[in-house]
């Protein structure tokens, strides 16, 4: 049973907006694009792994769980809950060969032969597991064993390790073998520690304590207002800016016409700057020639607002 679904994270959505709207000459643009492609690959890997979880209908499944630990947070890609144990899955989409050496270092060898140090995913998953156990103790949930696995969702990833490195065998699997791995773990935990009702209660509690990540990427990448390309973009060809003619947005590139293209660009605004907006900010962001057009668009959206005349602040809806 799917309890919490996986969507594109706020971070990925913000990066997508920044890729579209930050000037290409910005010194951090390529680093930002790199982060986006890495995170999209991870997202794709996690989604493709979901296919291998379909046979396990007796588990409650939660994706992208972010919980507090001490003063910070820990994130779980996928958590399977059963009355006998919890299974924490860390999904990795990695290309090339991963070598686990005798010093517990992880080296990734790319297809072109270049090498780079990699964060050891086994340490990562062990840390998540101990954070989860701590979290459950703190929140006084009934005790239940927790197991963790690192799932390699790219079938072409080659994993090399010394035979003495038992952790690799214990913790790492490729997604097509995940079913077999779970069946083995299933046989190890035969005692029911929780009732179905308690499992449901625990999953509801986890969803309630989930804290969505909402990083300030503009600050992180040092992007200022002047670095952002303003205007309404075309949803068909992504050309920016489209022009407004007779209350209709017209894309000069693909000639796509629509009355409500500005709504998509206002979603960009929400992801970049937040949900609060004044008529002046709206006019500037959408490159409107008249504040009256801005006022009309705001009125048509029927948005909640604070303030009377001067200083009125509208609250935009959640991004699409």
Partner DNA sequence: TGTCTATGACGTTATCTCAC
Partner DNA sequence: GTGAGATAACGTCATAGACA
Determine contact, residues 268/229, Cβ cutoff 8 Å: no
Tell whether residue 275 is a contact of DNA (CB under 7 A).
no
Judged by CB under 7 A, which stretch of 91-99, 184-192, 197-205, 295-303 contacts DNA?
Answer: 295-303
**Considering only residues 71, 140, 246, 318, which one is a binding residue for DNA as defined by CB under 7 A?**
246
Cβ proximity to DNA: between 256 and 295 the closer is 295
Tell whether residue 292 is a contact of DNA (CB under 7 A).
yes
Alpha helix ranges (H) inside 166-223: 166-171, 178-188, 196-209, 217-220
**Considering only residues 291, 306, 317, 320, which one is a binding residue for DNA as defined by CB under 7 A?**
291
Phi, psi dihedrals of residue 102, rounded to the nearest 5°: -70, -15
Q: How far is the CB of 281 from DNA (least distance, A)?
A: 7
**Three-class DSSP labels, 58-127:** CCEEEEEEEEEECCEEEEEEEEEECCCCEEEEEEECCCCEEEECCCCCEEEECCCCCEEEECCHHHHHHH
Q: Biggest alpha carbon distance in the chain?
A: 73
Query: Strand pairing partners for 2?
Result: 61
> Coil, helix or strand for 166?
helix
Q: How far is the CB of 231 from DNA (least distance, A)?
A: 15
Cβ proximity to DNA: between 63 and 244 the closer is 244
Measured distance CA(220)–CA(68) in Å, rounded: 22
Measured distance CA(270)–CA(267) in Å, rounded: 5
**Considering only residues 184, 289, 302, 318, which one is a binding residue for DNA as defined by CB under 7 A?**
289
Determine contact, residues 142/193, Cβ cutoff 8 Å: yes
Judged by CB under 7 A, which stretch of 47-55, 98-106, 149-157, 294-302 contacts DNA?
Answer: 294-302
Tell whether residue 255 is a contact of DNA (CB under 7 A).
no
Write down the residue that tokens 């995913």 correspond to: 121
Tell whether residue 312 is a contact of DNA (CB under 7 A).
yes
**Considering only residues 131, 147, 244, 262, which one is a binding residue for DNA as defined by CB under 7 A?**
244
Judged by CB under 7 A, which stretch of 38-46, 83-91, 117-125, 292-300 contacts DNA?
Answer: 292-300
Q: How far is the CB of 149 from DNA (least distance, A)?
A: 53
Q: DSSP readout, 249-260?
A: EE-TTT--EES-
Determine contact, residues 130/120, Cβ cutoff 8 Å: no
Determine contact, residues 6/64, Cβ cutoff 8 Å: yes
**Can you read off the two tokens belonging to residue 181?**
């791995």
Q: How far is the CB of 142 from DNA (least distance, A)?
A: 53
The contact mask relative to DNA for 195-234 (x = CB under 7 A, - = no) is ----------------------------------------
Tell whether residue 293 is a contact of DNA (CB under 7 A).
yes
Q: Which of residues 65-84 bind DNA (CB under 7 A)?
A: none
221 CA to centre of own chain: 18
Cβ proximity to DNA: between 127 and 295 the closer is 295
Judged by CB under 7 A, which stretch of 70-78, 104-112, 180-188, 309-317 contacts DNA?
Answer: 309-317
**Considering only residues 20, 26, 127, 295, which one is a binding residue for DNA as defined by CB under 7 A?**
295
Tell whether residue 309 is a contact of DNA (CB under 7 A).
yes
Count of residues engaged in binding DNA, rule: CB under 7 A: 22
Residues in contact with DNA by the rule CB under 7 A: 244, 246-247, 259, 278-281, 289-293, 295-296, 298-299, 308-312
């Amino acid at each position: 049973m799917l309890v919490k679904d996986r969507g594109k994270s706020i971070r990925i959505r913000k990066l997508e907006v920044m890729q579209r709207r930050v000037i290409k000459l910005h010194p951090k643009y390529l680093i930002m694009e790199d982060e986006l492609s890495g995170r999209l690959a991870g997202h794709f890997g996690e989604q493709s792994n979901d296919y291998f979880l379909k046979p396990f209908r007796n588990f409650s499944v939660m994706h992208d769980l972010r919980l507090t630990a001490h003063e910070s947070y820990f994130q779980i890609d996928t958590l399977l809950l059963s009355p006998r144990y919890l299974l924490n899955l860390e999904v990795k989409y990695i290309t090339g060969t991963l070598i686990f050496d005798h010093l517990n270092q992880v080296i990734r060898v790319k297809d072109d032969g270049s090498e780079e140090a990699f964060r050891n995913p086994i340490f990562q998953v062990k840390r998540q597991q101990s954070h989860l156990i701590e979290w459950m103790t703190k929140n006084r949930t009934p005790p239940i064993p927790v197991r963790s696995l690192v799932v390699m969702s790219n079938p072409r990833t080659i994993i090399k390790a010394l035979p003495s490195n038992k952790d690799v065998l214990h913790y790492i699997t490729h997604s097509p073998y995940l079913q077999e791995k779970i069946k083995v773990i299933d046989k190890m935990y035969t005692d029911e520690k929780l009732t179905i009702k308690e499992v449901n209660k625990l999953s509801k509690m986890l969803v309630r304590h989930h804290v969505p990540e909402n990083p300030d990427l503009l600050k992180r990448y040092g992007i200022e207002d002047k670095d952002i390309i303003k205007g309404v973009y075309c949803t068909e060809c992504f050309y920016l800016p489209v022009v407004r003619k007779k209350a209709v947005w017209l894309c000069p590139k693909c000639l796509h016409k629509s009355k409500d293209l500005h709504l998509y660009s206002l979603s960009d605004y929400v992801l970049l700057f937040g949900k609060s907006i004044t008529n002046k900010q709206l006019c500037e962001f959408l490159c409107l020639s008249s504040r009256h057009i801005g006022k009309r668009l705001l009125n048509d959206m029927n948005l909640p607002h604070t303030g009377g005349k001067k200083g009125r602040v509208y609250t935009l809806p959640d991004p699409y």
